[in-house]
Structure formats: C-alpha cells, structure tokens
Amino acid sequence: LFKYNPDCGYLNDTECAYWFLFKDDYLLVKKGSLEQTALLKCNKIDLSNIRIHFCSIFEHINGIYCIYGEIDDSFNANDFQLERFRVRAPVLPIEIFNLTGRAFQLVNWERTHQFCGQCGNPMVKSTKEFAMHCPNCGIANYPRISPAVIVAIIKEKKLLLARRKEFEMNSLIAGYVEAGETLEEAVNREVKEEVGLNVKNIRYFSSQPWAFSYSLMVAFIADYESGDIQPDGIEIEFADWYSTDNLPDKIPGHLSIARKMIDAFCLMD
Ligand SMILES: [Zn+2]
C-alpha cells in the first residue's frame, strides 16, 4: 500500500497523513492558531526540510494515517515550530489530546529502546506489533505503561483534596502501583502514606491514559473509614475535606480524570 520513503516514512508524493513529530517533549506544530489543533496534515513535500530519525504509522482516522516520529532539532522549516506538548495540551480537544498522547508515548518508547537492555545489541522494530526485538538474545520490549491509582475519598458528602508540593493544585490522592500489588492495595497504601487515613468500599470509577508520565490512571471512589488527616509533608503539604459549595479555586483542568471525578462528586446527592 505504501512505498517506504527514507525522508518521511511510508507515503508517496501525493498522500497525506497526520504527523505527530516530536523532539524530546516538544511537538512539531504549524505556526499560529494555538487554540486550534495540533494535527499536522501534509505530505512529504511539506516536510522535506525536516530530518526524521524514525517514524511509524500507529492509527488511522477516516482513512488518513497517523504517523509518530522523532525529528532532528536542527530542522529548518519556516511554517513550523516546536512547542511543548504539555503546554499545548490544555487547548486541545480531548480526542486530539488522546491521539497526541499515544504518539508521545510511542516516540519515547522507541527512542529509549534502540539497544537491548540485556546484551546491548541494536534492537529491531517489529512490523507486526509495537515491539522492539533483540536479534541477538531474543528479548522483546513493549511500550512502557505504568499503572497508577487515583482515588476520590468521600466522608459525609465531603471530598478529600490534597495539595502536592510541586504543584499549586488541589487534587485527589494518587500514586504508582508497586510491583506485586493489586490496585486496591495501592489505593490503601497511597492513602495511608500520603494523608494517614484508612478507607473502605473501594469501587472502580474509570480509567485514563496519561502520556506525560507513561501512566494508565485507574480511578476509584472510596469511603472514609478512620483516622485524622496527616499530610506526609513529603509529597502532600496540605489536605482537607471540601463540600460542593466550598471547593478550592485551583483544581485540575478538564483533560484530567481527577477533574472528571471532582465534577462527578459535585453531581452526587
Ligand atoms: Zn539482547
């Protein structure tokens, strides 16, 4: 279907694609129209001044292929600029945010798996799946996904919000799942560690990929059981119970599952 073209991948001269090209955590976008989309739709001619280290098709939308890739930062193309994905993310529609996040994770995976972690041999990308294979020792590496839990703790129609030291933001308790741990055990441990509380009735809410930290956020609601709030002082500097009519000003933005949970809490009886 596609001819491989060393300049830009699989497209011939006339075909278009959506390009998700990154340099580190910067996304290549067309200049202007910040509030619009990150989608860069063009064929190889438009990208001829940009050196691409690697690229792959990862998705298609209405027959148009989406391609992720890593570029050289010495590109010279007047119509384009590099912009930090995280900075642009809040203005993106959710579907495009998700697509860009997927590309971001795949680019970072491929860049960091060029060589085998076991024997040091150069890795070869599979043509059938997202996997990097070592032809020498046979090991395969897949894109890294780190599960993390996030939990809305409810006590007498109030929600626990905690402020992390590195962000000026009031959000829910969250943390990475450790090796050998169930999701429920991770919820119990994170809540105990970060604010010193015990919770019960842990139930699933929803999930969301979160590309910036290679996470899959798995969201739960839990009821307060016992204990007094004791911020750990390491990750959490302050935490308190909030009712729907006195939520703090600084809460997570609309893209995050934390915000979806806070909004869902506001709709509860
Ligand atoms: Zn190897």
Q: Give mean pLDDT, residues 105-121.
A: 94
pTM, two decimal places = 0.84
Q: How far is CA 15 from the centre of its chain?
A: 29
The alpha carbon of 132 and the centre of ligand 1 are apart by a number of angstroms equal to: 10
Distance 53 CA to ligand 1 centre (A): 22
Residues near ligand 1 ion, CB 5 Å cutoff: 116, 118-119, 121, 134, 136-137
pLDDT tens digits for range 4-14: 344 444 455 55
> What's the CA-to-centroid distance between 116 and ligand 1, angstroms?
5
| For residues 226-237, average pLDDT | 94
**Residue of 244 and 94 predicted with greater confidence:** 244
Phi, psi of 213 (to 5 degrees): -115, 20
Residue 83: band (very low, low, confident or very high) from pLDDT cuts 50, 70, 90: confident
Cα–Cα distance between 193 and 204 in angstroms, integer?
Answer: 21
Cα separation, 40 vs 79, whole angstroms: 11
Question: How distant, in Å, are the alpha carbons of 24, 39, 76, 177, 207 from that of 71?
Answer: 9, 16, 11, 33, 31
Beta bridge partners of 18: 41, 66
Nearest-angstrom CA–CA distance, 174 and 111: 28
For residue 54, report the distance from its CA to the centre of ligand 1, in Å.
Answer: 20
Summarised one tens digit per residue, pLDDT across range 50-61 is 677 777 888 887
